[in-house]
Chains A and B, each alone.
Chain A
Amino acid sequence: MDKGADICIGFDGEIEVENGKCWSEGFWDRVRNGETVSDAARNAKDGCFSQWPTGYHGVDTYEISGSYNSYLTPARYGVY
């Protein structure tokens, strides 16, 4: 955050490759489809629960700092 980021997200628990990939794919897919960072993180977590092997396996330990209810929009030309 002290480098100027509006939002930081990370994990407090142990994450392994498969569940990390599952969460990451779900998170970015949801952010791209218009969910807030907070909603995308939570829904991606629940999405991973239903993949095998059953359970959160650490993806429920995400932590967000900053504007958690923000949307991510791609950089574009022009004045907004």
Chain B
Amino acid sequence: MKKEFIIAIMCIFVTILAVYAVIATAPIGVDIAKEKVQEFVNDPSVNIQYQNTECLNLGDYYTFSTGNGQVYVNMYTGVIERSSFIDARKSSGEIRLDYAGAEMVAREYAEEKYCGFADMNMQLIKSDSENHGDAGSENSFIWRENIEGVLTPNTVVVNIHPASGRIVSYIGIQREINCVLEPELSEEDALKIAEKQFPDIRVTETTAELSIEYTKPDVQSLTWVITMKGKPEDHVLQGGLVVIDALTGEVLMTSPYL
């Protein structure tokens, strides 16, 4: 009797686990995703329309038009991982943020929209002003999580229109890390491999970052991401971008400058 009771309990437990696994791996559906967009934009007057689905190595998305931009919802988690806001360029009384002010606005937005931002080791890896000519300019802030010198996919991008002080676009990627963080290939060896991809250039500048990348759908790989600039020939820039598997030394991508 006792044995049968234990087996029954185990069966129930396994069934619960199986149901949970199915729910966890099933898409949330367009209707729930639409509700998530509504919560994110926080404006009941916005006309949210489903556009399509997009499948990237990083994840699968439902995309929605909000009339004022576009929103990408992770198909499985329901998290808003990308959004843009067209009306950000409309200046509201010429606020004209200075750079420190823009960074403060960006950081506050990141903390509001990205779960756990303040508790993670998010490193500001890029902050600059991009001039898009007649289309105006943007102040761009990029944070990436750094674990023991490795840049993870956990990333926040906030672009701000300096004249209006409003958010132009946002990207927030959050993933569990499930690959090793210790490279088999040293930076020096990675640079030697990268140099072989551009054998005829005279190298003037290199950068190398240890980075976890989704090189295949849903697969994290520890990589060396290397940019290698060479002395221009006939005014044409030499070198390019090389991505190398940091465990095997395999060259995953060689992309010369145009």
To the question of whether A and B form a pair in one complex, the answer is yes
Minimum distance in angstroms from A71 CB to a CB of chain B: 13
The secondary-structure label for the interface of chain A is mixed
Minimum distance in angstroms from A43 CB to a CB of chain B: 6
Residues of A within 8 A of B142 (CB): 55
- How far is it, in angstroms, between the C-alpha of A22 and the C-alpha of B209 when the chains are bound? 21
Residue of A nearest to B58 (CB): A50
Given contacts A18-B255, A41-B132, A64-B133, contact A54 B155 (CB under 8 A): yes
Interface size on A, residues (CB 8 A): 30
Question: A25 at interface (Cβ–Cβ under 8 A)?
Answer: no
- How far is it, in angstroms, between the C-alpha of A18 and the C-alpha of B157 when the chains are bound? 21
Number of A-B residue pairs, CB cutoff 8 Å, is 95
- How far is it, in angstroms, between the C-alpha of A60 and the C-alpha of B237 when the chains are bound? 18
Interface size on B, residues (CB 8 A): 42
Residues of B within 8 A of A38 (CB): 132, 135
Q: B21-44 interface mask toward A, CB cutoff 8 Å, 1 = contact, 0 = none?
A: 000000000000000000000000
- How far is it, in angstroms, between the C-alpha of A15 and the C-alpha of B239 when the chains are bound? 11
Question: A28 at interface (Cβ–Cβ under 8 A)?
Answer: no
- How far is it, in angstroms, between the C-alpha of A63 and the C-alpha of B168 when the chains are bound? 16
- Cβ-defined contact, B135 with A57, below 8 A: no
Minimum distance in angstroms from A60 CB to a CB of chain B: 5
- Cβ-defined contact, B258 with A49, below 8 A: no
- Cβ-defined contact, B155 with A53, below 8 A: no
Question: B166 at interface (Cβ–Cβ under 8 A)?
Answer: no
